[in-house]
Amino acid sequence: MTTASVLPPSPPTLPAPPGALPRRSVRISSPGQVAGAIAQLAALGAIGPVVFGGLFGLLGAGVGLLFALLIGVVLLAGLVYALFGVAWFEQARLDGLYGFDLPALRPRRSPKTGFVGVLHTIWLQAIDLRQWRAIASFTVSTLLGLVALFLVGSAAWGLALVFSPIFGWAHTALFGLLPLEGAGAPLIGALTVLVATGAVIGLGLLHGVLARAILVPSREALLEEQARTSDTRRAGAVRAAEVERTRIERDLHDGVQPRLVSIGMTLGLAQTKIDDDPEAAKALVAEAHASTKSAITELRQLARGIHASVLEDRGLDAALSALASRSHIPVTLDVRLPRRCSRPAEAAVYFSIAEALTNAAKHSRAGNCRVDVRVRDDGSLWARVEDDGLGGARVVPGGGLDGIVNRVTAAGGTARIDSPQGGPTSVEVTVPCAS
């Protein structure tokens, strides 16, 4: 399954949620940027039509072969990811040129499994708004590139007119129609060079303005996105707390409470026999003593499920090592953390791994589990738990997997559960390291 004026002060800026697009002041008019934009526009004017020709060719072939052994479906899926490739290139190009500091454009993934999950993944990618904004930017840049090529050609033609007397071109004409005699050709040529050069520079500036308008959202859009993200995280936190409360109540009701009642009954029975049958009373007291130790152990495990002190004291690596040592099935642990992340992020990943191992021990009949934990380049904490069990796990409201999804959502992350029939089952979570 990441701005100031002399007007009255604006409300304080909210911290950007993970995955939110940034909004910051970026220069788009330095000489180097304008020159780079002009060069890139000229290149896009040459290659952009070819790219769009290929994309429309895929679209036409996919629609035309849609009912021919579903070959068209494969072609349309290829079109979706070809569009993603173009969008990724466009965003990387603009980020490198202007330094918008945009979050990396990543392929969308569905939390569903099987063939339905594949179709849902393709659908999520096809409707990705960030991808379509980048495609729109690529389209605009290609059109500007065609204009830039025309203006560069006009400037070259004007430059040739300026030097036409030197090369002895006695008969020149404006656009091949209006004859230019004497000094007319150099003057018209110079004017053409000036106009075309100014227009090209203006085109470079316009490119920066349009790119920022298309790819970088307004403050209002950013605030709306933050509000939606906060609502989602709050709902996940409420749901996670509800699931956790239900689990604690169930563990107390089904485990510790009956044991304590049994201890009380055993001690009461021992009290009635202490005068008539001291040996039997001693045996009952010893039984109550053993049950008390078991109850203490269960309470300790329950407390550890609520708050793992080793996680706070020694970090995620040590906490997972302790967790793996207590697991009922062998666990291969591979944790590579160059630094510690925030407490909410570490807690979300720790409890997700603990719940996944518990589910594997209870239901999967697995003989081995593997746990991998990494800090990715984008600053997110990533973990994957995979077992070699029977598979077929499903997210049930109030269940363990549902708890994983809600806890990770509350931390601003994502969870993906893949469990086909026959196995293996994998649980993959990604949480912002500073959530």
The answer, yes or no, to whether residue 82 has pLDDT greater than 90, is yes
The answer, yes or no, to whether residue 210 has pLDDT greater than 50, is yes
CATH 1.20.5 domain span(s) along the chain: 236-306
DSSP E strands, 177-295:
178-180
**Percent of the chain scored above 70 by pLDDT?**
74
Decide: pTM greater than 0.85: no
Q: Which residue has the higher pLDDT, 367 or 296?
A: 367
- pLDDT band with cut points at 50, 70 and 90 for residue 189: confident
pLDDT score recorded for residue 31: 84
* Most confident among 227-231, 284-288, 300-304 (mean pLDDT): 284-288
Tokens at residue 265, please? 């009954």
Least confident of 12-21, 140-149, 351-360: 12-21
Distance of CA 299 to the CA centre of its chain: 38
Q: Are 334 and 374 in contact (CB under 8 A)?
A: no
pLDDT score recorded for residue 254: 61
**How many Cβ atoms from other residues are within 10 Å of residue 412's Cβ?**
24
Q: Which residue has the higher pLDDT, 149 or 313?
A: 149
Q: Are 131 and 212 in contact (CB under 8 A)?
A: no
**CA–CA gap between residue 305 and residue 362 (Å, rounded):** 16
- Residue 64 to residues 81, 125, 268, Cα–Cα distance (Å): 19, 22, 83
pLDDT score recorded for residue 421: 81
Least confident of 203-212, 243-252, 271-280, 356-365: 243-252
Non-local (6+) Cβ contacts of 169 within 8 A are: 185
> Helix, strand, or coil here: 406?
helix
- pLDDT band with cut points at 50, 70 and 90 for residue 295: low
**Structural element, H or E, at residue 404:** helix 400-410
Q: Decide if domain 236-306 falls under CATH 1.10.3120.
A: no
The answer, yes or no, to whether residue 308 has pLDDT greater than 70, is no
pLDDT score recorded for residue 2: 31
Long-range CB contacts for residues 214-217, cutoff 8 Å, separation at least 24: 214/133, 214/136, 214/137, 214/140, 215/21, 215/91, 215/94, 215/100, 215/102, 215/133, 215/134, 215/137, 216/21, 216/22, 216/23, 216/26, 216/100, 216/102, 217/21, 217/23
Distance of CA 284 to the CA centre of its chain: 59
Segment 331-359 shows an average pLDDT of: 85
- pLDDT band with cut points at 50, 70 and 90 for residue 19: very low
The answer, yes or no, to whether residue 225 has pLDDT greater than 50, is yes
pLDDT score recorded for residue 410: 79
The answer, yes or no, to whether residue 179 has pLDDT greater than 60, is no
Closest CA to 413 of 271, 245, 229: 229
CATH 3.30.565.10 domain span(s) along the chain: 314-435
Closest CA to 352 of 281, 428, 238: 428
pLDDT score recorded for residue 15: 37
The answer, yes or no, to whether residue 177 has pLDDT greater than 80, is no
**Percent of the chain scored above 90 by pLDDT?**
16
Q: Which CATH architecture has domain 314-435?
A: 2-Layer Sandwich (3.30)
**Model pLDDT for residues 84-103, shown as the tens digit of each residue:** 999 999 999 988 888 887 77
The answer, yes or no, to whether residue 62 has pLDDT greater than 50, is yes
DSSP E strands, 103-229:
172-174, 178-180
- pLDDT band with cut points at 50, 70 and 90 for residue 188: confident
- Residue 127 to residues 94, 182, 412, Cα–Cα distance (Å): 22, 61, 22
**CA–CA gap between residue 393 and residue 416 (Å, rounded):** 12
